[in-house]
Structure 1
Amino acid sequence: MSIFSTILAKITGTSTAEAAQASATVRPTTVTAATATPASAEATPAAPAAHPGQGVDVAAVLDALEAKSKERLDWRHSIVDLMKLLNIDSSKSARNELARELHFDGDTDNSAQMNVWLHKQVMAKLAANGGKLPPELLT
C-alpha cells in the first residue's frame, strides 16, 4: 500500500484499498521541486472525482487528533509532524518513498526542500481527493 493511500485512509476513515483506488484516479498536481519554497510553492489540485472520503474536513480531523496527542505537532507546516500525528513512519527513508510515489524531481538529499514539497503535495492531493482544506494549506 502506498504511503499517500495510508495518509488518505487515516484522514478520511476509508480503507486503505479504497483510498488507494481513489488516489490512483487523480491527476498529479503541478508543484515541482524547483518551485517548492515556502514563499513560492503553488499547488493546483486536480478536479476532485467522487471518492469515499469526499467532503472530509481535513483540518478538523487533524486538529482533533492533535488535541488528543501528548506531543505538540505542527501538522500544518511539517510533513514529519503530519506523518507522526497519523502514526505513520516519518523516517527519512519513508519520506523518500513518499517522494518517489508523488514524483518528486528534486534532490532527496536536500531534506528541507523535499519536506516542504512533500507537505504541499500531500495537501494538494488531499484536496484533489475530495478533502476540504483551508486556503492557507493550499498555497
Structure 2
Amino acid sequence: MGILSNILGKIFPSSHAANAPASGSAASTAPTSPGASATAPAGNTPTSPAAPVAMSEVDVEGMLDGLAAKSSEKLNWKTSIVDLMKLLGLDSSLAARKELAQELHFAGDVNDSAAMNVWLHRQVMTKVAANGGKVPADLKD
C-alpha cells in the first residue's frame, strides 16, 4: 500500500469506492477446463464487466477543516503537504514525501523540497478530487 493510498484511506470512509481493491483478473475471464469455450452457449449472453460504481462525493474541505479544528497544532492543510499529512496522522518526513513524489512520478529535483512540496500538494488534491472528493478548485491542477 502506497502513501497516496494511505492518504485516500484517511480521507474517504472505508465503504467509499476510492478504498475498494482493484477488481477483475485475467483468471476470471479464462475458460475453466481444457476444451471449454470462452463463447457463451446459444441463448445466453456473455457476462459483461461490472458497471462502474458511482462514487459519492466526500466534502474533503469540511472533513479536513473539522480535523484541523480539533488538532492541538495549527495545521494549514490547504497549502502544506506536510501539514496535510500530519493532520491525517501520517509520516510527513522528507523521506516519506520523497517516496510520495516517486509514487506520483515527480520529474523535478527531490532535493528542492519547496518545489516538490508544492507539486505534491497539488497532485494529492487532484487525486483526491479524481476519487470523489469535493476539493476547492484552487487547490488542484
Give 1:101's aligned residue: 103
Normalising by structure 1, we get a TM-score of: 0.73
Give 2:84's aligned residue: 82
Aligned partner letter, 2:94? K
Give 1:110's aligned residue: 112
Pick the structure with greater CA Rg.
2
Normalising by structure 2, we get a TM-score of: 0.72
Give 1:136's aligned residue: 138
Query: Using the alignment, how far apart are the partners of 2:72 and 2:53 within structure 1?
Result: 35
1:10-39 Cα distance to aligned partner (Å, 9 max, x none):
111227xx62747xxxxxxxxxxxxxxxxx
Note the 1:64-75 alignment, pairs <5 A.
64-75=66-77
Q: 4+ residue stretches of structure 1 with deviation over 6 A?
A: none
SS in 2 for 1:115: helix
Unaligned runs of 5+ in 2: 23-51
Give % identity. Answer: 59
Report if the CA contact (8 A) 1:73-1:81 is conserved: yes
Give 2:60's aligned residue: 58
> Equivalent of 2:121, from 87, 104, 119?
119
Query: Using the alignment, how far apart are the partners of 2:87 and 2:7 within structure 1?
Result: 10
Query: Using the alignment, how far apart are the partners of 1:9 and 1:120 within structure 2?
Result: 18
Give 1:7's aligned residue: 7
Count how many residue pairs are aligned between Structure 1 and Structure 2. Answer: 112
Unaligned runs of 5+ in 1: 23-48
**CA RMSD of the aligned region, Å?**
2.2
Q: CA deviation at 1:62?
A: 0.3
Query: Using the alignment, how far apart are the partners of 1:134 and 1:118 within structure 2?
Result: 16
Taking CA–CA contacts closer than 8 Å with sequence separation of 6 or more, which of the two structures ends up with the larger relative contact order? 1
